[in-house]
Structure 1
């Protein structure tokens, strides 16, 4: 789909230390697994589901792949570079397997669904291949691989949401967590492979979402991010025949539709001390109801990731994005009207099929209009199986793609710095997440607008998970610097 990673605006943001279930006691588990995740937040969330399934089968997690009995790569097909990285890692793991033949190697996720035959037959790199909707079958597939057979299941599902599985938080700071609310995507963007690797949209049971969020809060987590390929499409109708289909925290609610705005509200009502974020929004689906719900509750963070992809209406039509340049601009204006000061970020593609210099300038102009706080920026690379691959020629030379991408990056770098400069002298409520990567004498946290803020610990007794107020005194393009108020 795209190529070249974004410039990282949030240079202090990080995955966090891995907490339990890592345990060094060799007698505690029958076997150990190691898992690496690539791509979107949904993949990292899926890895936590996989960890839960494996834990129930007697597997313990390890940080060291050299001691693992089962090595898993949870993969992404969005960019060619991600696929190249995965292939390189698989080659490294196969060398390890030569010395430990009993070690099993598996590929999960989007690449598993798309490239199963290559992995199994042509390259003989893996023992297990499991698609995003087939993780429940992992124990069976592992047993098949133990017996010398290839374990394969890449079937897509119309109803799998893993709603009843409590994820094990593998890479968590103990403060923030991802909660998957839906799977799949119905938006057939011509550049995107997701509908073909993750299937159709289906929304998770609202009761299970609220229970997971409540359990996280009870365990000390202070922030949840609701995840979906398009969260604004969340639409759940409770089962009218269920014995108990009331919604936790709101027993007056009987069977009826719960849309994304209502779900946001229900999660926010768990506690005012639980911050709520979400990702990702499709511009065509984010409603005024969602925006007004965000404005109503202080603990719903005022930040929206609103992918643009291109500022040219002609390009948006070729991308099958279902909106025009002018429509997108009106959506940004509406966000600014209802949520003054709301942070907005974006995804941008340079060099899509037939893109002209005028189309490219439209994108740069749109960036100036929207004033994004940060963006994920890529140049287009054709992905097999997508509508664009079947319909259009990838006709923009690589050197032009790279030049246009660099111009986009330069504009965003300036916009990010200008956005941070506007925050000088302001005071923000910050959730402390961890120590700064650069100094153990400083804390790192984020504002509700999703800006990273670093500040000295001083003589305070604050700890990760505490809310503090920080006055911004300096900034870089990526980070706000301040002092405790």
Structure 2
């Protein structure tokens, strides 16, 4: 969850904008673009909703608690809005955007009268028009249709903000229909932006100093945007084109589906230096039975085989994943299959959650819902193993020289914080003059969540050193019969 702010054009009246972002990286991107849309209207940043003229909650609908947090926040905003009105401090417009807005728009308007408008994830480009209409009458709800092409065509070419890394949405929606997931219902069918549009936005980001791009999509490796020849491209070909843009030195992408991990994308990891050796590849469960119930359309052996191929192409690949525990019908045996998969794959990082029923999804009405106390115990066991693997991976970097992209100042003196190729946070003293640069760093130690490093000054340092493959990530998987 983060806050995203807008910056006004010079000479315009200042109005104050506060955006609170819940959920995934695509929501972070969307919040940044909402700020871009509102900047020409004179909206400037504010650090708190207390003095905001316009407050937007950009929401996530993946888990039940995320939606309830939105309603809790709306209750606080209602009190603030009323107090400001009574004190004669001017009005406050409140909007709910994103996936909760898409799924529960009418319920939001009914349940919280302080909300002025509700905007789905494919309609936030209409915020300026909506603000004008809302000034006359409360209660607008827009965005029930899915037209991402209209949204991206309407967004300003220029993007605000600063920094050396940026998110760039290239694909939206999902056609997979996993039984636990609301994304197909809130984001619509899979759709990819044309290559030319992606490259234009990337060039603009490079011109403002961005050196690392993270390509975003609900199923980003299903990307098939129109290429210059009029035919569908692939994510691999898009990555090569992006790497040709001066200034773009690093490319990442998330989130991927195992069924869309194509041969040319795997090959690109071996051949394209700009493509970072870090892959988020969710599997959700290690049980074939549960994978069928989840409608994942792949089994554990296919996942193992895919990991083998990826590591053959890029032996130092660091893997991340998503896991759900407590899915309806999950038995002790099913859970042990998940633990076995985690032990064999060896993740550098991972996200794990207790299954949360989402209204309208097939899994919400499945029999044999798992008792909460059982799900909590399983989650604790799984997270202990994942944390052990993450810590071991970080510790295995000690003694290596890694190219670090410095992003910002640290907390102590001239310290700077950057990112390794494996997405680890790296803390280095006396390096704040290097922000925006990729510099070889000797890793001194690895902790649970970060690395500590020191600058080296030898020009003979191997900037792109891949080093010996760590046992933490590189040992071959044992073959398993289908």
Higher helix share: 2
Q: CA deviation at 1:461?
A: 6.9
Instruction: Look up the match of 1:4.
Output: none
Whether 1:308 and 2:292 are equivalent positions in the alignment is: no
Q: CA deviation at 1:235?
A: 0.6
Q: Larger relative contact order (C-alpha < 8 A, sep ≥ 6)?
A: 1
Any unmatched runs of 5+ in structure 1? 1-13, 239-245, 247-253
Instruction: Look up the match of 1:44.
Output: 28
Instruction: Look up the match of 2:74.
Output: 90
Whether 1:446 and 2:419 are equivalent positions in the alignment is: yes
* Rounded Cα–Cα distance in structure 2 between residues aligned with 1:476 and 1:173: 29
CA contact (8 A) 1:222 1:275 kept: yes
- Mapping for residues 143-154 of structure 1, pairs under 5 Å: 143-154=132-143
CA RMSD of aligned residues (A): 2.1
> Which SS does the other structure have where 1:210 is aligned?
helix
Q: CA deviation at 1:257?
A: 2.2
* Rounded Cα–Cα distance in structure 1 between residues aligned with 2:420 and 2:293: 37
Instruction: Look up the match of 2:443.
Output: 472
CA contact (8 A) 1:141 1:152 kept: no
Residue 18 to residue 203, structure 1, CA distance change in 2 (3 Å):
closer
> Which SS does the other structure have where 1:224 is aligned?
strand
CA contact (8 A) 2:37 2:125 kept: yes
CA contact (8 A) 1:38 1:74 kept: yes
User: Any idea what the Cα deviations from partners look like across 1:131-155, whole Å, max 9, x if unmatched?
Assistant: 1111132223222321133111132
Instruction: Look up the match of 2:402.
Output: 428
Aligned equivalent of 2:94, options 97, 102, 105: 105
> Which SS does the other structure have where 2:427 is aligned?
strand
* Rounded Cα–Cα distance in structure 1 between residues aligned with 2:70 and 2:432: 43
User: Any idea what the Cα deviations from partners look like across 1:76-103, whole Å, max 9, x if unmatched?
Assistant: 0111121121111111110111133421
Whether 1:406 and 2:380 are equivalent positions in the alignment is: yes
Q: CA deviation at 1:363?
A: 0.6
Aligned equivalent of 2:429, options 456, 460, 464: 456
Whether 1:81 and 2:65 are equivalent positions in the alignment is: yes
Whether 1:29 and 2:13 are equivalent positions in the alignment is: yes
Instruction: Look up the match of 1:237.
Output: 226
Aligned equivalent of 2:186, options 193, 197, 210: 197
User: Any idea what the Cα deviations from partners look like across 1:285-329, whole Å, max 9, x if unmatched?
Assistant: 111210211221211111110001001011111111110011111
* Rounded Cα–Cα distance in structure 2 between residues aligned with 1:237 and 1:179: 17
Residue 482 to residue 105, structure 1, CA distance change in 2 (3 Å):
same
User: Any idea what the Cα deviations from partners look like across 1:318-377, whole Å, max 9, x if unmatched?
Assistant: 111110011111111111110111111000111100000111011111111111001011
Aligned equivalent of 1:219, options 204, 208, 228: 208
* Rounded Cα–Cα distance in structure 2 between residues aligned with 1:281 and 1:373: 16
Of the structure 1 ranges 362-371 and 289-298, higher mean CA displacement relative to structure 2 is found in 289-298
> Which SS does the other structure have where 1:235 is aligned?
coil
* Rounded Cα–Cα distance in structure 2 between residues aligned with 1:261 and 1:186: 20
Q: CA deviation at 1:178?
A: 0.4
Aligned length: 450
> Which SS does the other structure have where 1:115 is aligned?
helix
* Rounded Cα–Cα distance in structure 1 between residues aligned with 2:247 and 2:138: 52
* Rounded Cα–Cα distance in structure 2 between residues aligned with 1:196 and 1:295: 36
* Rounded Cα–Cα distance in structure 2 between residues aligned with 1:167 and 1:374: 35
- Mapping for residues 110-259 of structure 1, pairs under 5 Å: 110-160=99-149, 162-164=151-153, 165-166=155-156, 174-238=163-227, 246=228, 254-259=229-234
Any unmatched runs of 5+ in structure 2? 86-90, 457-482
Residue 20 to residue 404, structure 1, CA distance change in 2 (3 Å):
same
User: Any idea what the Cα deviations from partners look like across 1:243-279, whole Å, max 9, x if unmatched?
Assistant: xxx4xxxxxxx33221111111111111375211111
Instruction: Look up the match of 1:71.
Output: 55
Q: CA deviation at 1:169?
A: 5.5
CA contact (8 A) 1:272 1:298 kept: no
* Rounded Cα–Cα distance in structure 2 between residues aligned with 1:308 and 1:95: 43
CA contact (8 A) 1:261 1:290 kept: yes
Instruction: Look up the match of 1:397.
Output: 371
Q: CA deviation at 1:167?
A: 6.8
Residue 476 to residue 285, structure 1, CA distance change in 2 (3 Å):
same
CA contact (8 A) 1:161 1:204 kept: no
Q: CA deviation at 1:173?
A: 5.3
Q: CA deviation at 1:60?
A: 3.1
User: Any idea what the Cα deviations from partners look like across 1:34-80, whole Å, max 9, x if unmatched?
Assistant: 11110001111111221122223343333232222111100001111
* Rounded Cα–Cα distance in structure 2 between residues aligned with 1:18 and 1:30: 17
Residue 317 to residue 161, structure 1, CA distance change in 2 (3 Å):
farther
* Rounded Cα–Cα distance in structure 2 between residues aligned with 1:327 and 1:47: 36
* Rounded Cα–Cα distance in structure 2 between residues aligned with 1:29 and 1:79: 39
